[in-house]
Every structure is written in structure tokens, then in C-alpha cells.
Amino acid sequence: MGEHETTGIIESIVERLPGNKDIYFWNFIVLMVFTLFEVGAVFFETVPGTEIRISRFAVWTILVIVGIVKGYGIAAYFMHLKGDPRIYTRTALFPVLFVLLMLWGIGLSNPEAITELPSWCTPDWDYATSR
């Protein structure tokens, strides 16, 4: 989303498409299709037209993959990180380190990691003394 032009595999594919060759337009179409796919994966309990059951693992995998594709489409093209100087990508990715730390330390920690904190970690908190 700026003045910079971008080059790459995706751009060269878009160049060969008939009709509209605007990368933003095709990015928009891809995002719409993938969202449809995402909602459909959860909405249908079986693959439409068949009796093949969509497992929870498949749904979970689809949600993660679609999320990554959509995230890339928005950040790289709509936010134009792909054409901008690298410092912007580094700025955007800088918190990822902390995010991973939080996901590991808080998100995936033992359930008792927060509620069972020792009292010296939680001065004056009611539950620190009651537990």
C-alpha cells in the first residue's frame, strides 16, 4: 500500500493472468476465497457431496494454514511490507520474540503457573494468601 513496486513469484503469476493485473485486486480475491474455505471447514461436518467426515485435526490444520496465508496477504501486500524497506518488516516482527515467549510461558504453561504463584510474586493479592 504505497509507491513501491514489488517483484517476486506471486507478482509474476499475477502478470500472466488475463484481465486485471492489479496485485491488490488478486490479493483481495485470494483473501475472500480463503475466508470462504475457513468458514466452510467449520460449517460442514462432512466434505460436501460425500460422507467423508472432516476431523477436528483437519479443521485445526485448515484454520492455521488459512490464517498464515491471510496474514501474509494482508501484511505483505495490503500493508506493503514486501515493497517497503526491510526496517518496517523488522519492526513488525520485533514483538514476535515476546509473543513466542508469552505463548510458551503463559499460553502453554502448566495450568497452575498463574494461580499457584508464590505469595512473594503477588503481594497484596487476595488469592495469593488464600491459596
Partner 1 sequence: MAGAIVTIGIVAFAALGLGVGSIKHDAYDDAKETYYEAMEDPTVTQSELDHLHHEEIDAHLSYLTYWVAGVTIMVISIIYAIFLGIGGFINSIQPQEEESHGDDHHDEHHGSASPIIFCFGVLLFLMGFPDFVEGLRPLLSQGGTFALGNLVLSTIGLTIIMIGIANWWREDLPFIGHGEQIATSAPFEGEHIRKAGLWVFIMSEIMVFATFFSSYLRVRTEWCTKWAFDNGLENGKPVEGCVSQSQIDLFDAGEVVTGDVVMTASDYLRPGGAAGTGDFWTMLPGAVNTFALIISSYTIVLALKTAKAKDWEAPKGVLRHLLPDKKTAVRNYLIATLLLGSMFIVLKLVEWSHLVAEGFTVGTSQGSIFYVATGAHGMHVFAGLLIMLYLVFKADTIGYDEDNGQGIEYFGLYWHFVDLAWVVIFPAFYLY
Contact residues toward partner 1 (CB under 8 A) are: 1-3, 24-25, 28, 31-32, 35, 38-39, 41-43, 45, 56, 59-60, 63, 66-67, 70-71, 74-75, 78-79, 85, 87-88, 90-92, 94-96, 98-99, 102-103, 106-109, 111, 113-114
CB of 9 to partner 1, least distance (A): 21
Nearer Cβ to partner 1, position 42 or 47? 42
- For residues 78 and 24, is the Cβ–Cβ distance under 8 A? yes
Grid cell locating 53 = 467426515
Nearer Cβ to partner 1, position 98 or 127? 98
- For residues 50 and 44, is the Cβ–Cβ distance under 8 A? no
CB of 58 to partner 1, least distance (A): 13
Nearer Cβ to partner 1, position 13 or 100? 100
> Using CB atoms within 10 A of its CB, is residue 63 exposed (0-12), middle (13-18) or buried (19+)?
middle
Indicate the helix (H) or strand (E) that contains 76.
Answer: none
Integer-rounded Cα radius of gyration of the chain: 22
CB of 76 to partner 1, least distance (A): 11
- For residues 83 and 5, is the Cβ–Cβ distance under 8 A? yes
CB of 13 to partner 1, least distance (A): 19
Nearer Cβ to partner 1, position 13 or 102? 102
Size (the chain), residues: 131
Grid cell locating 90 = 523488522
